[in-house]
Structures are given as structure tokens and as C-alpha cells.
Chain A
């Protein structure tokens, strides 16, 4: 006779199994997308006949540590000079950011560098606000966003332009970001593996299967006309990129993925900074869910289906993990035990082996990343880094609810640089 505990246990078992299956499918889709991408030769960007005018927006709030190299990398982008303008929004910086920027501007007088400095009235309200200010100064037909720590590769802008001009359905095109400081600490090694896997599986795989991608906040190109139509960035959004993605899809456009447009960025090197950054992401995603699903349905489309679906997926996963943990604890305390006689360690083993395999496959797509070091890091990652995410989710949800109850504005936390 099966007890309630047994049913709950079977539920979590099946939920985890279903998620594993879905991940296998996603990573295969990601791989076939990778093969498609690799079949495209560099000739495709040589074939561009007309170059549209592009405005690069770089929001910078206290970025003295990274801004100079980033701007220099952007100046090196292989794109006709007269078609490129770089707009740096110096958003209420209190450090030497402004000084560095004006020095760069006078050093390259023939290049189109604009510095927009905000004041106490219009500035200091987060990245979305800074981007809106930048947008009002932009003259280009397309807008490209780079974070202040980004060093894009020379050809990357061309790839973005090539891809977005290739179809009228594309409202935006995202590139691939990679970790510049992957050797700085164990944490950045984890992040390196995580971001590569995320981009091939979640972005690449979903793009291949459902034509769905989310803006990553940096290294993407978007049509200015579209941005103006939908009213720019939502200044209340904490994850302004995800929020914007949804409005782009609701407008009937798609966001495409172009992995050949590579930009290198700096990742958090300490756990404290990482926790803060990721908690902000979680809060941002709850904000998006709240805005589009719980409050009122503002339109409908595949992206909303995807939102519901993602929510269900997260719910399935979280509930499964929590239920099985509770059952485990109850069993330990001798309160209630699973009466099923089988040996269930296999689901755990299965999950672990699949995780290692999938991560390694994702790394194999990146030259030089599939090596013994990373293999051991992946084995370790499952028990450490991945578990940290549970903490992040919990704090994110708690912090969001607390802000909502106390009617506080979400403070925008800028990731510290190293």
C-alpha cells in the first residue's frame, strides 16, 4: 500500500527524470545549432555590401578599473569609422571614470566618441535609465549594447550587423560572451563553464528548437526604431534585459543568436559579489513574471507560453528538490519513511553522470575548454556551485517579497569590478 509520502516521492522522482530528459534534448539542439553556426564561414561578413549606422551604448557607473580597455577594444572594432558612434553614459560616477573618458576622447579626436554625463536629477537610477538616456542621443539605425567591462572581438560587430540585417523578423541579435578572467579563482572557472553551457544549451538550444532567446544584458544589437516604438528600457526592471526581450517578442519580433560575435567580459571573482549579482538576476526575473503573468496579461505570444513554461519548469524542479529533501529529513528523524522498497540512488547517479556529460559536451564546442582541469571542476561544480544557486534563489525570492511588502524600490546593484 502506497502512502502519501510515497506518492510525493514518486512525484519528485518523475519531475527530476522529466527535467533530465528535457536537458538532454536541449543540449542536443544546442549542438546542432553549433554545427549550423560552424558551417558558416567568415565569407558571410565579407559579403556585407552596405553598412548601416550603428550606435554603441556603454553605461558606466564607477568603472575606472575597466572602462579604458573596453573603449579601446570598441575603437578597434572592424567597422567603417564614419558609420560608428560610441556613446558612453557616465552615470553619476564618483571615481575617475569621467576623467578617463575625456582623456580618451581628446586622444582620438577623429573618432565618434560621445560622453553623456548625467546629473543628480536624471542619473544614478540604474542601467535601464542610463540606457534610455543614451538612446535619446543615439543617431544610428541600430543600437549595440556593451557593458563597461566588455572587450568585444574585432569582427564581432560585423557578425551582429550581418545577422540582424539578414532577416526582418529579427528585432535583436545577441552575441556570445566569454569569461576573460576565468583563471582568477575557482569561482570564475565555475562561471566560465556555466556561461558556456548556458549559452550553448539554453540560448542556442532554445533558439534552435523554439526560436527563443533572451537578451543577456550585453553584446547585442537591436533596431532603434523598435526600441523607440516600445518605449526603451523599463527603468523599474531589475533585469532590464529579460524585460526588454519579452516586449520585443510581444511586438512580433524574434531575438536571434549569433555565437560568432564574441565579447569577453569580467565575471565576479568573489562569492559575495557573485551572490549579490545573481540575487539581482533572480529578483529581476520575478519582476518580469509578476509584470507579465501575475498582474495582467499584456498581450500573448510564444514568449508568454515560454514564460509560463519556464515558470512551470522552475516550479517542477524546485518542488521536486524541496520535497525530496524534506522526505530525506523526515526519514532521518524517523517521522515518516518511504515504504517503496527500491534502491533510488540511481536517480541521483543518473543526474550526476548526465550533468557531467552535458557540461563536457558544451565545453567540447569551445576550442581548448575540454581539458582534464575543467573535467574535475565540473565534477566538483555539481556539489558546490550548483548548490549555491539554491541559496541565491531563496534569497532572491525573499528579498523580492520583502521589498514588495515594505513597498521599497528595488535598489539597483552594480556588479563590482576587479
Chain B
């Protein structure tokens, strides 16, 4: 990856250098400023764009055709059109410019394409492998479903109680637009602290969506969960944010839903859906 990065930088600088040299050539050799060369430099420019967006071999082929076409033209001029004073710095150098442009830009394009595929692949991998929410340190949705399934099986088999809690911050997007991301993130952290104080360490904590937390409480029944809910309500209601000298009481509304596992289903998605429905009764 590091090596590719270095190569990208090198080819990027080379591509700039290439056009710098071309421009300098025109400055030092004012004879070059004519319609024919304008056409050729435009072709070079479009070749660069094409080479960058296609792949290396195709870019080289394009330059191959250009070299052949231009070579044939000057050959024709030399033989039939009475143009006797062809010279490297005025005419032939284009024969080199085309392949070099094609190679540098083609290579640069290939390298960048390679990097972006790597990034896409890595993102894909991260999505499937990561089980932790970045901001809160709680587990994420994937982990929630995995754990829920295990806990449901365990509860069923050993006839344990199992309860899940869901906390949803209402109008979260509005809050973000009013307070900004930084402040809402701070609030999130405060919520996490408070939640940690209320829940036992063996309870499992998740951040399901940006505005939704869920907790799996093994060996707990509905009554126990109601007590937890009350404490949570109390704690979360009194969150105040200290910024500098100011203590700010933010108006967060949230709903808490409780669902006890009744051992009728094994489907985690169904369970979650029913848990969501419980939020509607928290008025």
C-alpha cells in the first residue's frame, strides 16, 4: 500500500512535469506556436485524459496509433510535400510525447484505480468484521443480532428469563441540526456514562442506529427491567452539558421499550420488530 502510494505520487509529479516541459518547449521555441502544434498539444491533452480513464494497454495502443499517424504525416511531408527542414525539436519530438504521455497517465490511472478498489474491498471487510460502534464503544447491530440469537437459544433451553430494552432518542436529526454534531456526540458520551452506571456489567449494550440503543439483559424478568427503565429515565432526563463556564440543560426526548422473550420464536428480526413496537407504548 505504501509502495503504491509512493508510485502514485511519482507518476502524479511526472504528469505535471510532462506538461511543464511541453509548455517550456513552446516558450523557448516561439516557432512552435502555430495551428498544427496547437492541434497536436490538444491531442496530447485528450490523450492524457483518455489514458487516465482507461487502462494502460489501451492507452499505449492509442499512442501507437497516434505515433503511426503522425509519423506517416511527416514522412509524407518529407517525401512529397517538399518540407525539407524537419527537425527533432520542432517535429519529431511528438513521436516521443505521445507514448510518454500515454504511459505516465495510463499508469497513474491504473494505480489510482487499484487504490480505490482496495479501499472498497477494505470497507466491505470492515463492515463484515467490525462489531464495535466507534463513538460509544458499545457493540453494533451485527453483534446485537448474533448475541440476541445466542441468548434466545440459551433462555429457551435452560428456561431462563430474557429481557431486551430499547432506547430511542426522538427527533435526533433535528437535534443534530440545532446543536451540531460535536455537541450531540458529547451528549452521546454522557448518555453512555449514565447508562453504564445504571446497567450491570454483564448486561449487553449496543448502539443499533445513530439514535437507538439496545440492551440485552439475561436472567432478568420484566419487573426487573421496569426498575432499570425507571432509573434510566431519571438519569437521562438530568443530563447537563458543561461547555466552558456554561452548564447547559439540553432538551432530549427519548422513549424506552421493554420486551420479554416469550420463547415462541427463534427469529431475531421478529424480536427486534416487536421491541420497536414497544417504544410506541412509552408515552
Q: Please give the residue numbers on chain A whose beta carbons come within 8 Å of chain B beta carbons, in ascending order.
A: 10, 13, 17, 20-21, 24, 27-28, 31, 340-344, 346-347, 349-350, 353-354, 356-358, 360-361, 364-365, 370
Question: Which of the listed residues B60, B82, B87 has the most CB atoms from chain A within 10 Å of its own CB?
Answer: B60
Contacts of A347 in B (CB 8 A): 71, 75
Given A343-B84, A344-B78; A27-B92 close (CB under 8 Å): no
Contacts of B65 in A (CB 8 A): 24
Can you list the 6 inter-chain pairs with the closest CB atoms, starting with the nearest?
A342-B78, A350-B71, A341-B84, A364-B57, A357-B64, A343-B86
Given A349-B92, A357-B63; A343-B57 close (CB under 8 Å): no
Would you call B60 and A346 a contact (CB within 8 A)?
no
Would you call B61 and A361 a contact (CB within 8 A)?
yes
B190 within 8 A of A: no
Contacts of B92 in A (CB 8 A): 346, 349
Query: What are 17 A-B interface contacts by the 8 Å CB criterion?
Result: A10-B79, A13-B79, A341-B82, A342-B86, A343-B87, A346-B86, A347-B71, A350-B68, A350-B71, A350-B75, A354-B64, A354-B67, A354-B68, A357-B60, A357-B64, A360-B60, A370-B56
* Complex Cα spacing A13 to B84, Å: 16
Contacts of A342 in B (CB 8 A): 77-79, 83-84, 86
Which interface class (under 10, 10 to 19, 20 to 34, 35 or more) fits B?
20 to 34
With CB as the reference atom, state the residue of chain B lying closest to A28: B61
With CB as the reference atom, state the residue of chain A lying closest to B107: A370
Would you call A353 and B79 a contact (CB within 8 A)?
no
Number of A-B contacts (CB under 8 A): 75
B95 within 8 A of A: yes
* Complex Cα spacing A358 to B65, Å: 11
Partner of B79, one of A340, A349, A356: A340
Partner of A358, one of B64, B74, B82, B83: B64
B129 within 8 A of A: no
Question: Which of the listed residues B75, B85, B86, B92 has the most CB atoms from chain A within 10 Å of its own CB?
Answer: B75
**Chain B, 55-105, CB within 8 A of any chain A CB:** 56-57, 60-61, 63-65, 67-68, 71-72, 74-75, 77-79, 82-87, 91-92, 95-96, 99
Would you call A31 and B57 a contact (CB within 8 A)?
yes
- The smallest C-beta distance from B176 to any residue of chain A, in angstroms, reads 47
- The smallest C-beta distance from A209 to any residue of chain B, in angstroms, reads 16
* Complex Cα spacing A333 to B61, Å: 41
With CB as the reference atom, state the residue of chain B lying closest to A358: B64
Partner of B60, one of A20, A340, A361: A361
Contacts of B87 in A (CB 8 A): 343
* Complex Cα spacing A44 to B147, Å: 42
- The smallest C-beta distance from A312 to any residue of chain B, in angstroms, reads 21
